[in-house]
Amino acid sequence: MDGERMFDIRKILLDDLKFAVNLTNTMKWDLVEEDFKYMMKLEPDGCFITFDDAKRIGIATTIHFDKLGWLGNVIVSENYRGRGIGSLLVRHALEYLEKRRVETVGLYAYIPKVPFYQKLGFEYDSEFVYLKGTAVSLPIKDCTRKAVEDDFGKIIDFDHLCFGASRRKLLKPIFLDKENVCQIALDDRKILGFIIARRYGGIAEIGPLVCQEKCDDIAAELIKNILNQLQGCKVSMCIPKKETILLNKLTEWGLSESFPVARMFYGKYSEKNYIYMAESLERG
């Protein structure tokens, strides 16, 4: 309780972004101010910073999709760790999400941090693998195509069905940005899967990928099409460890494991039967 009296928390403001970037750089997260501006736009009241008097010492970000929320970018300055500030930030974020009628909160945790989140009420769900590499040209089959604006409604409905909540506010700006790329697979107008990649010059983050269960071949073709369009770019993605078929193919295509993370949930989450790749570590 002493920590709650000592440290203050408020919303992140533009003046705080330099600190936020410098703090995350200590963990080599490669974030820039635009990343935080984007999070602030998606969840204006849900990005937090904590202070020791006037000194900035930690941050956390959130986003909510109906009854499902996500927690990300939880980090405290090294000199202040071990004093309960991380727990204070997480509890504050959970209170914020609960006030917005969120029933389940997810996050991706580094494996050594799993006990920390378990003490705060999160339960281990499954392990994901974060991959990095350089996109290369690969032979493809004619079973997917570039997604167009008329496909967006189908994509959102399909994503909602699989993910368990509507991510329209997250996916729409990504989809409409002409710099990004999106592929879709259809069978007689029925959507089988889609994939999106966000491109930043010579760097790209691939995800989400959402595909119907037992459609590993379709998921692989969606990924190959994206890699072809990103040829030469440094790419990254986060995929469940259980997707061994896709992981083996990605290794064949030159990507390698950077680190594992644990997906965890606060509150009940019912796993859907589908093939999934995360949108990002910060937003699910």
Residue 215 pLDDT: 93
Closest to 92 in 3D by CA, of 52, 54, 61, 56: 61
Q: Phi, psi (5° rounding) for residue 198?
A: -100, 125
Residue 284 pLDDT: 93
Residue 6 pLDDT: 75
Place of tokens 């330099």: 18
Torsion of CA 65, 181, 281, 143, to 10 degrees: 90
Residue 242 pLDDT: 95
pLDDT tens-digit series, residues 166-187: 999 999 999 999 999 999 999 9
Residue 1 pLDDT: 41
Residue 254 pLDDT: 95
Question: All domains of the chain, ordered by start, with CATH?
Answer: 2-102 (3.40.630.30), 130-260+267-277 (3.40.630.30)
Residue 244 pLDDT: 95
Taken as a whole, the chain contains a residue count of 284
Q: Which residues of the chain have pLDDT under 50?
A: 1-4
Amino acid identity, position 108:
Y
